[in-house]
C-alpha cells in the first residue's frame, strides 16, 4: 500500500521526468572551457598570466621550484587531452596554455 507521503513523493518525481529530458548533459568543464584567456584580460593581468611560463618571474612556492611551475601541473588546470590548452578554474574554465603560468599556481595535491 502506498502511503499519502509516498504518493506525493512519487508524483513530484514523475512530474520532473519530462523536464529532465530537456536538459543537455554537458560537463561544466566542456561547456565553459571554450574561450582562450587573452593575456590582456584584466584578470590575466592581475594574476600575471603568461602563455609561456619561462617568460615569467616565478618564485618557489609550496616546496616547488619556480622553474617547475606550469599550468599543466597546477591544481586548477583541466587537461583537454587533445590540445596544448586546458580549462582553468581560476579563469572560469576558459582555456589557458598548458605551458603557461600565473600567480595563482598551486601544486596538485
Ligand atoms: S591558476 Fe594554474 S592553471 Fe590557471 S592560469 Fe594560473 S597557473 Fe595556469
Q: In angstroms, rounded to a whole number, what is the distance separating the alpha carbons of residues 65 and 48? A: 18
Return the C-alpha cell found at 102. 600565473
Tell me if 53 CB under 6 Å of ligand 1.
Answer: no
CATH code of the domain in which 51 resides: 4.10.490.10
Tell me if 87 CB under 6 Å of ligand 1.
Answer: no
Within a domain: residue 71? yes
Q: Which of 38, 102, 108, 109, when mutated, tests ligand 1's pocket best, judged by the most ligand atoms within 8 Å of its CB? A: 102
CB 41 within 8 A of CB 90: no
Q: In angstroms, rounded to a whole number, what is the distance separating the alpha carbons of residues 107 and 73? A: 6
Residue 55 has pLDDT above 90, yes or no: yes
Within a domain: residue 104? no
Three-state DSSP class for residue 96: strand
Q: What's the total number of domains in the chain?
A: 1
Q: Which residues contact 75 (CB under 8 A, 6 or more apart)?
A: 106, 107, 108, 109
* pTM metric for this prediction: 0.71
Tell me if 102 CB under 6 Å of ligand 1.
Answer: yes
Within a domain: residue 90? yes
pLDDT in tens, 64-79: 999 999 999 999 999 9
Within a domain: residue 19? no
pLDDT in tens, 9-45: 544 444 443 443 343 444 554 544 489 999 999 999 9
Range of the domain at 89: 27-97
Within a domain: residue 3? no
Predicted local confidence at residue 80, as pLDDT:
83
Amino acid at each position: 500500500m502506498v502511503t499519502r507521503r509516498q504518493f506525493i513523493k512519487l508524483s513530484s518525481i514523475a512530474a520532473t521526468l519530462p523536464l529532465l529530458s530537456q536538459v543537455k548533459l554537458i560537463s561544466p568543464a566542456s561547456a565553459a572551457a571554450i574561450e582562450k584567456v587573452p593575456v590582456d584580460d584584466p584578470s590575466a593581468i592581475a594574476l600575471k598570466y603568461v602563455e609561456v611560463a619561462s617568460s615569467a618571474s616565478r618564485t618557489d612556492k609550496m616546496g616547488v621550484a619556480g622553474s617547475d611551475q606550469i599550468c599543466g601541473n597546477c591544481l586548477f588546470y583541466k587537461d583537454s587531452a587533445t590540445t596544448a590548452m586546458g580549462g582553468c578554474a581560476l579563469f572560469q574554465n576558459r582555456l589557458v596554455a598548458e605551458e603557461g603560468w600565473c600567480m595563482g599556481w598551486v601544486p596538485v595535491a
